[in-house]
Structure formats: C-alpha cells, structure tokens
Amino acid sequence: MRSSKTVKNIKKLSGAVVGIPPRHINFAFPESMPKYFYAGNATATTFFAMLSGFFPPGERYFMESVRHFRGQVKDESLRAAISGFMGQEAIHGREHDRLNQILAEYGYDMQSPDRFVKIGLAILEKLPPSTRLAATTFMEHFTALLAEQLLDDEHFVRQADPEMIKIWQWHA
C-alpha cells in the first residue's frame, strides 16, 4: 500500500503550478473601435494588424515545435511548463483569430500575413526539429521585446485605443 506522501508525489503538475497558467479570456472587442486604433495612425495600426495576422499560424507552429520534444522530457516540472506554454499559445491564437476577423471587417487584408507566415513556416518545417525549436525561441524572444514596450512604456500604451491595448497587453 502506498503512503499518502507517495501519492502526493505522483500527482501530475499543471502549467499553472509551474507558473505558466493558460489565461482563458474572451475579449469583447468594442463595436465602436476606431479603424486606426493606434495613435490614430494608419501605418502604426496596420503594423499591429499585420502582427495580429502573423500570430495564429505562428502560435500553432510554436506549439508543434515543442510538442515534438515533450515525450522526451522526463522532468515533470518541465513537462508541465511545456503544457502550460502550449495552452497559452492555443488561447493566443484563438483570440487573435477573433481579432483578425474584426480587422478584416474594417478592411485590413488579413489573408496576406497569414499566407506569408505559412510560406515561411513551411520552409522552417524542412529543418530538423531542434532547429525549429530554436526558431521558436528566437521568435518568442522578438515577441518578448514587443511585450516589454506594451507593459512598461506608458507613453506607448497611451497612444492605443484603451480597449484594443487590452488584447496586446494580455498577450504580452
């Protein structure tokens, strides 16, 4: 018979336990969202729209690049971190898919960034799994640089529509 201490040690860790909780959220995008939601500027807003278009296929790529190695990871804490990361990426992709539908209704070409990213990722798919994982790390690092702006630069944040900045800060 197992002791209760042994049973506790068998309990599966989750992403939340290791500091990577999937943060479930459904954004209520405003009906009256301005077309140029960043500083009233068409170029800056288009930049954000194109980033949003890149995210869904990119998030799925990130998930697949780590999923390839998950079965090889023996450390339960690291396996839980991988699961938490994958959960977050799935939610990020879902919410950006929703935002991209709205941006398309506003007249932004959201099919082009999706198509371009898929072409680039198809090229990466020809590389070894370790290189795909390294590419994921690189792209996540780039995302972290943008996240720093979204979280720390108050002037940068004040330039955005107050409702639209919420999805970007959440993603950050």
Beta bridge mates, 160? 38
Residue 18 lies in a domain: no
Judge contact between 44 and 110, C-beta under 8 A: no
Q: Please report whether residue 67 resides in a domain.
A: yes
Q: Does 26 reside within a domain?
A: no
Mean pLDDT, all residues of the chain: 86
- Is residue 160 assigned to a domain? yes
The pLDDT value given to residue 108: 95
Please check whether residue 20 is in contact with residue 147, taking contact to mean a CB–CB distance below 8 angstroms.
Answer: no
Residue 14's pLDDT is: 64
pLDDT at 25: 75
Give mean pLDDT, residues 141-160: 90
Tokens of 37: 């939601």
CB atoms under 10 Å from CB of 75, counted, come to: 10
pLDDT band at 3, cuts 50/70/90? Answer: very low
Number of domains in the chain: 1
Q: Whole domain around residue 162: which residue ranges?
A: 39-171
Structure tokens of 58? 């990119």
Given pLDDT bands bounded at 50, 70 and 90, which one contains residue 2? very low
Q: What would the pLDDT profile of 137-146 be if each residue is shown by its tens digit?
A: 999 998 888 8
pLDDT tens figures, 5-35: 444 444 566 666 666 766 777 777 777 788 8
pLDDT digits (tens, 9 = 90+) for 92-127: 899 899 999 999 999 999 999 999 999 999 999 999
